[in-house]
Amino acid sequence: MKKLKVLFVCIHNSARSQMAEAFLKKYGGEKFDVKSAGLEPGVLNPLVVRVMKEEGIDISGNGTKSVFEMFKNGELFKYVITVCDATKAEKCPIFPGVNKRLHWGFDDPSSLEGTEEEKIVRIRLIKEEIKQKIQHWIKEMEGE
């Protein structure tokens, strides 16, 4: 069976798209070839790295990647899923040459305010939202 190529995209590839990629790799098994990228690649959010480690997933070695580099390299994906928070007017990128585009809006961990512990609590909630969405989507895909 040919793997479905999936790309998760957000602004900096520092948090949401990284979490989504990690969860699809963990729960999707061999069915998916998954990557993540950003419009303006930044630095991995250390609090997101910490929260994912609590989940038993180490993303600390992941680099952030440019969606434009992937496009220039001719990479094609069956699904491109943006995970930007459209309610905060983030510019969700568009990736040309895609069979299916989906948008799943999640709050941006890098825009959270408060103490480190308050941010960690909120990032855990965002992580759970992303994990549940991934698990639900995998079930949907199995039905197709």
Question: Could you tell me if 64 and 41 are in contact, meaning their C-beta atoms sit under 8 angstroms apart?
Answer: yes
Find the distance separating the first CA and the last CA of the chain, reported in whole Å: 14
* Predicted TM-score (pTM) above 0.85: yes
Active site residues: 10, 84, 92
Summarize pLDDT for 2-34 with one digit per residue, the tens.
Answer: 899 999 998 899 999 999 999 999 999 889 999
Give residue 92's identity as a one-letter amino acid code. Answer: C
Pick from 83, 84, 14: nearest CA to 51: 14
Q: Which residues are registered as beta bridge partners of 102?
A: 81
Summarize pLDDT for 102-138 with one digit per residue, the tens.
Answer: 889 899 998 899 999 999 999 999 999 999 999 999 9
- 3-state class of 65 per DSSP? coil
Q: Considering the domain 4-143 in this protein, what is its CATH number?
A: 3.40.50.2300
Structure tokens, 81: 């899923």
Where are the domains positioned within the chain?
Answer: 4-143
